[in-house]
Amino acid sequence: MYGFEAINANNGWEISFLGICIVFTGLVLLSLAISQLHKILDLWENRDSYIQLLKDRFNKKNIPNEETAPDIIVTDSTRESARQFNILIKNMNEKYFPLPKLIKTAKSMGLMRPHFYLNQMLQIKLIIPDGSGFYYWEKNNHKKIMSKE
């Protein structure tokens, strides 16, 4: 058996198609490598600065601390939400509470945008994590924020 009959009998068409796909994939990868070669060379030439940058990130030197963090502007709507969350937390009768339970309670009471305002409460440090997955209401910060009216 010779010719097209032999090619059909031994899966020659599939094998040739697979070969074409492998060659085409190799050529695409080669062209991508060549097109990005300037970035690889730049990385190699400036490797000391990149290594220092990675070390700084791993040492967490670039994380802003509380002194450099920008002040958060407390609006009237935030104060109103703080009042509402304060009432909800008092009604929960728990000193430490999980956030999902607080959100569920806020939604059931019809508070608008509870996730947004809860995030603001966390940012202005009205709701503070205790380190074990629960949170508590900071009464001193609440008094400071409410007295700025």
> Chain-centre distance of CA 58, in angstroms?
18
> To the nearest whole number, what is the mean pLDDT of the chain?
85
Q: What is the pLDDT of residue 64?
A: 54
d(CA 77, CA 75): 5
Residue with tokens 């963090």: 69
d(CA 97, CA 106): 13
Listed as ranges, residues in the chain with pLDDT below 50 are 62, 67-69
| 106 within 8 A of 85, measured Cβ to Cβ | yes
Single out the residue of 57, 63, 107 nearest to residue 85, CA to CA. Answer: 107
Locate 47 and state its tokens. 């490797």
Q: What is the pLDDT of residue 17?
A: 95
Ordered by start, the domain boundaries in the chain are 4-58, 76-147
Cα separation of the two ends of the chain: 96
Residue with tokens 């205790």: 130
Give the fold, CATH level 3, of 76-147: Arc Repressor Mutant, subunit A (1.10.10)
Q: What is the pLDDT of residue 18?
A: 95
Q: What is the pLDDT of residue 69?
A: 44
- The sign of the torsion formed by the CA atoms of 139, 74, 135, 67 equals negative
